[in-house]
Structure 1
């Protein structure tokens, strides 16, 4: 007698078996997603973006297997806010990360209530992993594991030495390597290899289940520490370009390892891969003032010119999305969250700033849903509408050209005509300037105090006098004559019109050349909390006829704006009735940054631009 296999199973077992098979197939149909985010990579520093002196075959192959964007942006020109924008689909200001987060142990970063890509994928049945750099919080509640990641391995601060895994750039030196919130030690082992191996293992461990992996590669951020193999390959290249290029090839090789692993596991066709840089290349001293290349664009890291925010960006889903496509449409990294959600058939989260660009990716030559965007970093801001882009207080960290403090404070570009942004069109198109200013002010984070105003000379009693410092000045701010030149400064501490001090008071003696009747003394100050600059507590004055003995000390009222979040310039004033030739002015700094700020417990800065005597 013949026995049917299924006759040996009861109905309950058959149903469970069918359910298991169905769930397995359903899981397999969900695409895996890997977001690769590099660190401080220049706008054209890949072979597929035109670099002829950098070898990047694996990333170039990735571009051929998908879409390479030529007009893709990040929402901030530095690390932490760019990453917050990527992970939340929101402008950095709405994600709660205006600038780089603090390195101080247990300091908070991106608020825990923010809904991240990791939480989106987790809520849709995915395993979620973070490998590499975090830079979005040092506290447990703002750590990767608290922001939706099941697994995390990497460093929490902005950068580390790749062999000791120490953060050296603000004392005291701190070991910074963690796995799932626990400090781990791999002394002497090369971090890019550690991260690569963890990424490969994560993929292998989760090959049977849909997974999301945020692979935040910490290169080519300083310190430039490429492998010996690639250092040798570029030994004839001029420094620092050679070391930087070797770091890019080090990245490329490890991305090759990842691609090979996906192919070997048979899941490459079921994996969406996104590649993007977080901001432009660094021109900081620790990066030897450069190494990267922004190509035709002006600007680099920390700049809102194109070179700081328009960056290499690729998406590839082999045999599922169009391949070998060059897309010239407008795209911002806040758009990744809704775009990936749509490609994976998730419901789109509410209250985000990003736009779904999936149709533009699936159907080449489709116009972008995005026609405009906003940027704000420190005192710099930018608004784009169509091809017109207006910047306030622009900075050119690539040093490709000079900016006039007054005439270029508002800088207009037409990106359809000139992506180099070397010529300011503001005077030629005042109507466009006004229209874009109005758009910026209509944005929830645009303030009237952000708009540059023409400086008007101020005539006062100290303008033709002399000034000397009583307390030691910061080495970067010693041109104290600007404090009595009759000019107020812009909302830019580096404009040359400001004198700054970190964690200490400022004190000066003014000589009016002769006895004068004095009724009022005012100091102008800057409040720029995203750059750790805060309103002074107060200032005090005393008087002398001989410049040696001072008396009649008077204090101003305490500033009430120390904790205000947005940037502005303001004044503190003392009313008096005094005859004197010499005035001693002491400006009280805040010493430590207030609680609630990402730099809390660090030394705060004060900046003043004019001591006005009437």
Structure 2
């Protein structure tokens, strides 16, 4: 008798086993995804992007094995909102991260209800890992492990010292190194090597599964701490360029380690690699005012000129996507979520701002589905449509040219004709300006209050009169003549129209040249809590006819809008009846940021512009 062994097994069990085997095969066939996100890297700072003084063979090889984009953008010119946009496929405003998140322990960052790339891949059977910088929240509910990552190793704040792993840039100094939410200590060990080792181990541990790894390299962000090997290589290059370039080569070497590991494991051909910088190079004091290069572009980190947002971007998937391609099509980092999802055969969520670029990447002759985009950071905003780009309240952190506070408040460029953005075309093409303004106002985050208004000159008794400070001023804000120039400032403390002080009071004496009858004084101020700027608690005025003896000070009432979370400019009013030549003005600032603000306990800023005397 012939025995039918199949009949001895439960057919449902057989079907289940077949299903499991099928799912395992499918899981193994799904491509792995690695997003390498560097930190504060200049627009042309790779050999493949034209830098003749930077050695980056591994990244350059990655470009040859894939597509190098020349018109790829990020959605914000600073770290946290750029990262939020990448991970959610949304404009930063829709991702809930308008500016850099707080370093204060347990402070919230990107809202937990945001659906991230990690959650998308995890929901589709992938292993998910985060290595490196986070900068999207200090609380448990906004940590990497709460945002879809099975594994996380790195620092939560914007930057750390690479050897002590301390965050030194706002007191108190805090150790900042975590693995899966637990603080870990590797005193004296070089963080880029710790991160590189974790990245290599992660791909090896998950070589038999499909995985998504977000490798957020914390370089070349300050502090400039390249390895001795690369510092020696660039010893003849003037600093800070030499140290910055050595940091790029330090990055490149570790990316080489990763690619070699993928090759050794036999999974390079089944791994999609995306490389991009989060924003332009830094010109901050801690970066020695530079080191990076934006090439033909104007702007750097914190600027919405091209140099702050148009950055090195590469995608490579060997034997599956075209190789050695230079693509000049328009895309933004919010497009990576739907694009990568499509390449992996995954449906992306519907409520995002990103567009699927996979067809354009597969066929470089295909036009980009993106023809327009919006940016908004602080007081700056941009609407781009086709080749036209309009900036509101532009800021040039690369210092390549002067900007007129009033005439350049709306700055128009034609990027097809002039990528340098050195000439404002607004007066030449007023109809284009109006069209783009209207386009901006159609965007859900574009508001009439964002549109620059013509600066009105205010005539008052103190206009162009002599003013001097009786207290030490902040080194960055000493042009006190703007307090009596008859002009109010824009809603941007860095516009050059403000005097700022951190954690201290301001005091000035104004000489009216002769005794004048005075009925009121108005103090113009800025309230910008997202940048730790708060309206004055109050201001006082005392009066003198000889400049020696002053009357008892008269105090204003504090602003009733102090707790308003929105940015605005306003005035505090002081009524009086005096006859005097000299007026002593004392402005009392907020000493410590109050509870309920991410910067609680730190010194707060006050910014004032015009002291209007009637």
The two structures have a TM-score, normalised by structure 1, of: 0.95
Deviations along 1:470-504, one digit per CA (max 9) or x if unpaired, are 44332322332321222222333233321111122
Q: Matched residue of 1:118: which SS?
A: helix
Aligned twin of 1:436: 436
Mean alpha-carbon deviation: is it higher for 174-183 or for 468-477?
468-477
Contact kept, 8 Å, 1:449 with 1:568, in 2: the verdict is no
SS for the counterpart of 2:511 is strand
Structure 2 distance, partners of 1:140, 1:95, is: 18
| In 1: Cα distance, 2:480 partner to 2:48 partner | 49
d(CA) in 1 for partners of 2:526, 2:23: 60
Contact between 2:464 and 2:481, CA under 8 Å: does it hold in 1? no
Once the two structures are TM-superposed, the CA of residue 95 in structure 1 deviates from its matched residue by: 1.5
Q: Contact conserved, 1:450 with 1:567, CA < 8 A, in 2?
A: no
- Secondary structure in 2 aligned to 1:353? coil
Deviation at 1:274?
0.8
> Equivalent residue for 2:456?
456
Give the match's secondary structure for 1:195. helix
1:119 and 2:119 are equivalent in the alignment: yes
Between 1:597-606 and 1:127-136, the stretch displaced more is 597-606
Q: Cα offset for 1:351?
A: 2.1
What is the CA–CA distance in structure 2 between the aligned matches of 1:552 and 1:219, rounded to whole Å? 55
What is the CA-CA distance between 1:456 and the residue it aligns to?
2.7
Q: Secondary structure at the match of 2:581?
A: strand
User: What SS does the aligned partner of 1:609 have?
Assistant: strand
CA apart distance, 1:290: 1.7
In structure 2, C-alpha distance between the alignment counterparts of 1:378 and 1:45, rounded to whole Å:
26
Secondary structure at the counterpart of residue 63 of structure 1: helix
Offset, 1:11: 4.1
Checking the alignment, whether the CA contact within 8 Å between 2:133 and 2:159 is kept in structure 1 is yes
Looking at structure 1, the residues matched to 184 and 482 of structure 2 have their Cα atoms a distance apart, in angstroms, of 51
CA 1:577–1:159 in structure 2 vs 1: closer, same or farther (change >3 Å)? same
Deviation per CA, 1:145-195: give whole Å up to 9, x if none.
111111110011111111111112222222111101111111111111110
Asked if 1 retains the 8 angstrom alpha-carbon contact of 2:120 and 2:348, the reply is no
Q: Is the 8 A contact 2:128 2:212 kept in 1?
A: yes
Structure 1 residue 245 corresponds to structure 2 residue 242: no
Partner residue of 1:52? 52
Q: 1:521 maps to which residue? A: 521
Residue correspondence of structure 1 range 139-178 to structure 2 within 5 A: 139-178=139-178
Say how many residue pairs are matched. Answer: 614
Separation in 2, partners of 1:517, 1:606: 29
Asked if 1 retains the 8 angstrom alpha-carbon contact of 2:464 and 2:486, the reply is no
Deviation at 1:7, TM superposition (A): 7.6
Q: Is the 8 A contact 1:109 1:598 kept in 2?
A: no
Matched with 1:487 is 487
Decide whether the 8 Å contact of 1:563 with 1:594 is kept in 2: no
Farther-moved stretch of structure 1 (5-14 vs 404-413): 5-14
Q: Residue 474 in 1 paired to residue 506 in 2?
A: no
- Contact 2:513–2:581 under 8 Å retained in 1: yes
SS in 2 for 1:438: helix
2:400 aligns with 400
Tell me whether 544-553 or 564-573 shows the greater mean CA deviation. Answer: 544-553
**CA distance in structure 1 between the aligned counterparts of 2:534 and 2:5, rounded to whole angstroms:** 78
Q: Secondary structure at the match of 1:536?
A: coil
What's the offset of the Cα at 1:70?
A: 0.7
Q: Which residue of 2 aligns with 1:205?
A: 205
Show structure 2 runs of 5+ residues with no match: none
Cα offsets for 1:548-591 (capped at 9, x unmatched): 55446444343233344443322222333333333333323233
CA contact (8 A) 1:379 1:528 kept: no
Question: 1:607: how far off?
Answer: 0.8
Q: Does 1:102 align with 2:67?
A: no
Q: Judging changes above 3 Å, is the alpha-carbon distance between structure 1 residues 447 and 504 closer, same or farther for their aligned structure 2 residues?
A: farther
How many Å separate the matches in 2 of 1:265 and 1:15? 32
Match of 1:364 in 2: 364
How many angstroms does 1:592 deviate by?
3.0
Q: Secondary structure at the match of 2:436?
A: helix
SS at match of 1:516: strand
**Taking structure 2 as the reference length, what is the TM-score of the superposition?**
0.95
- Alignment RMSD: 2.1
CA-to-partner distance for each residue in 1:40-85, whole Å, 9 max, x for gaps? 1111111221222222221112112221111000011111111111
Q: Shift in Å at residue 230 of structure 1?
A: 1.8
Kept in 2: contact 1:464–1:512 (CA 8 A): no
Q: Does 1:29 align with 2:29?
A: yes
